[in-house]
């Protein structure tokens, strides 16, 4: 019993990371209307940014902030240099370009920081015990960070004027334009937000495990799976689906083994596309 509860807790924490990735994917998919394959490598950049920031300042908090900032700047740069110029072109053009941007980011990070795995030099803390269940204070801190980031994103989306405009563009770009909403400002806000979310996801992933050039790319598939399970364009769905996939992956590990827990995301994705292509919270139109 204790064993499964510990797996559940690990699942919730990794589910929050997947939820953040899926949120970054679904925001871009909903508003810019293509699956951004550079999301994973933006995460990696966030993780390395936090590593460098932590080494320079000695503060995990400042390092994490630098990682988020790095992600936001990367998102904005990708939009300004590439995606903006490809607007109006087919989905495949944007998709191929996003793959290319991901490769460039990964190559740059590997050249700058090397290929060896690095870890955050954080003090070791003894886990707390509740009824025999071990809980790592670090996991709690990271979960709190993820929850805080999610709260900020949802507050931006649902409580601020720019968030309302973003949702309007997601709903109907033509109608939003007729109503006088500037598409460029919405896009700038979108890419800053999505980049920062991906950056924070990378920081949390890097602090929980290790930092290496491939960590982000490996999260792309679970992220896509969660975005589809939650329903493309639905921020709430992305987070809920991320938690479901994270918990399912951890709980399945004793049964299917460590390697196949990654394949589980693919199976979930296929199953959702077969049974309910619009996902848990998605709208009816636009998938088939």
Provide the 3-class DSSP secondary structure of residue 258. Answer: coil
In whole angstroms, the minimum distance from the beta carbon of 37 to other proteins comes to 8
In whole angstroms, the minimum distance from the beta carbon of 143 to other proteins comes to 27
As beta bridge partners, residue 211 has: 118
Cα separation, 96 vs 134, in Å, equals 44
Cα separation, 222 vs 280, in Å, equals 16
Measured from the CB atom, is 188 or 287 closer to other proteins? 287
In whole angstroms, the minimum distance from the beta carbon of 20 to other proteins comes to 18
Cβ of 232: how many Cβ atoms within 10 Å?
25
Measured from the CB atom, is 5 or 82 closer to other proteins? 82
Start-to-end Cα distance in the chain: 42
CA distances, 119 to each of 54, 61, 96, 111, 115 (Å): 11, 16, 32, 18, 13
Packing angle of the helix pair 183-208, 60-78 (nearest 10 deg): 140
Task: Tell me if 42 sits within 8 A of 202, measured CB to CB.
Answer: yes
In whole angstroms, the minimum distance from the beta carbon of 175 to other proteins comes to 21
Helix, strand, coil % over all residues of the chain, rounded to 5: 75, 5, 20
Structure token digits, residue 263: 């394949």
Cα separation, 133 vs 216, in Å, equals 30
Residues binding other proteins (CB under 8 A): 34-35, 37, 82, 85-86, 89, 91-93, 95-97, 99-108, 110-111, 115, 213, 221, 224-225, 228, 257, 259-260, 262-263, 265-266, 269-270, 273-274, 277, 286-288
Measured from the CB atom, is 115 or 283 closer to other proteins? 115
Measured from the CB atom, is 21 or 37 closer to other proteins? 37
Measured from the CB atom, is 24 or 149 closer to other proteins? 24
Measured from the CB atom, is 89 or 164 closer to other proteins? 89
In whole angstroms, the minimum distance from the beta carbon of 259 to other proteins comes to 4
Measured from the CB atom, is 19 or 279 closer to other proteins? 279
In whole angstroms, the minimum distance from the beta carbon of 241 to other proteins comes to 14
Structure token digits, residue 170: 């997601």
In whole angstroms, the minimum distance from the beta carbon of 211 to other proteins comes to 16
Closest by CA to 106, choosing from 218, 181, 205, 10, is 218
């Amino acid at each position: 019993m204790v064993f499964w509860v510990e797996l559940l807790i690990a699942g919730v924490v990794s589910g929050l990371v997947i939820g953040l990735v899926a949120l970054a994917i679904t925001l871009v998919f909903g508003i810019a209307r293509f699956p951004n394959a550079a999301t994973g490598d933006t995460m990696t950049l966030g993780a390395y940014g936090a590593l460098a920031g932590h080494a320079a300042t000695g503060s995990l908090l400042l390092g994490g902030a630098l990682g988020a900032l790095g992600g936001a700047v990367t998102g904005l740069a990708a939009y300004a240099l590439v995606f903006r110029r490809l607007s109006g072109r087919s989905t495949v053009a944007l998709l191929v370009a996003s793959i290319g941007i991901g490769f460039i980011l990964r190559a740059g990070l590997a050249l700058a920081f090397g290929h060896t795995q690095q870890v955050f030099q954080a003090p070791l803390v003894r886990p707390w015990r509740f009824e025999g269940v071990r809980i790592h204070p670090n996991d709690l801190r990271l979960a709190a960070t993820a929850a805080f980031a999610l709260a900020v994103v949802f507050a931006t989306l649902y409580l601020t004027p720019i968030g309302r405009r973003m949702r309007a563009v997601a709903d109907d770009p033509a109608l939003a334009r007729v109503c006088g909403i500037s598409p460029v400002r919405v896009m700038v806000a979108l890419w800053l937000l999505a980049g920062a979310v991906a950056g924070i996801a990378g920081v949390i992933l890097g602090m929980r495990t290790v930092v290496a050039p491939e960590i982000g790319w490996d999260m792309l598939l679970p992220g896509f799976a969660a975005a589809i399970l939650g329903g493309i364009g639905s921020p709430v769905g992305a987070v809920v689906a991320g938690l479901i996939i994270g918990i399912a992956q951890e709980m399945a590990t004793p049964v299917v083994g460590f390697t196949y827990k990654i394949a589980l995301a693919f199976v979930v994705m296929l199953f959702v596309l077969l049974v309910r292509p619009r996902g848990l919270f998605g709208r009816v139109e636009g998938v088939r």
